[in-house]
């Protein structure tokens, strides 16, 4: 049986596989490239490097977490989903890719604030701007 294909004639997995492979390639490139000496901040205790790429559906962001492990964040902008992966280097017994987790982020964008450490909350700011008569029509 032939796998289902999207409007572009591709199987749904083809695009995700390409994004994942590109993200891992960018992470590997990040390990190979040393920053210029004038770009190094002396207060950093761990190296940091991040790259990103996107197409009309996916955003892939790579980086290095505080433990030195490569991390790949993949965001599906149409289905509003987030998936996170870690890549560990080393020998055959320790190298690999691990799926850390995934989340439907659709409702995350409907929240005015959560774990927000801002000095002024969204609702307080809206009230202040409305009192001054400068609240944009789109925010009413």
* Nearest alpha carbon to residue 55 among 23, 33, 32, 85: 23
Write the pLDDT tens digit of every residue in 50-75.
889 999 999 999 998 888 889 999 99
Question: How would you class 132 by CB atoms within 10 Å of its CB: exposed for 0-12, middle for 13-18, buried for 19 or more?
Answer: exposed
Q: Which two tokens stand for residue 107?
A: 């409702």
Tell me which of 118 and 43 has the higher pLDDT: 118
69 Cβ contact partners less than 8 Å away, ≥ 6 residues apart:
86, 87, 88
Spatial strand order in the sheet of 70-76 = 51-54, 58-64, 70-76, 81-88, 96-104
In angstroms, the first-to-last Cα distance of the chain is: 52
Residue 15 confidence (pLDDT) above 60: no
Write the pLDDT tens digit of every residue in 23-41.
665 555 555 555 555 554 5
Q: What is the pLDDT of residue 66?
A: 82
Find the helix or strand (DSSP H, E) in which 98 lies: strand 96-104
Rounded Cα distance, 111 and 103, in Å: 16
Residue 43 confidence (pLDDT) above 80: no
pTM above 0.75, yes or no: no
């Amino acid at each position: 049986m032939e796998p289902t294909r999207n409007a572009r004639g591709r199987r749904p997995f083809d695009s995700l596989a390409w994004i994942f492979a590109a993200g891992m390639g960018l992470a590997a490139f990040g390990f190979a490239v040393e920053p210029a000496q004038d770009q190094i901040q002396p207060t950093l205790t761990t190296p940091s490097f991040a790259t990103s790429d996107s197409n009309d559906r996916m955003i892939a962001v790579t980086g290095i977490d505080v433990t030195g492990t490569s991390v790949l964040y993949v965001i599906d902008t149409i289905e509003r989903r987030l998936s996170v992966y870690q890549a560990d280097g080393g020998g055959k017994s320790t190298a690999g890719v691990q799926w850390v987790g995934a989340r439907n982020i659709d409702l995350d964008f409907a929240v005015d604030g959560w774990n927000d450490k801002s000095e002024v909350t969204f609702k307080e700011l809206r009230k202040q701007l409305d009192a001054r008569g400068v609240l944009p029509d789109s925010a009413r």
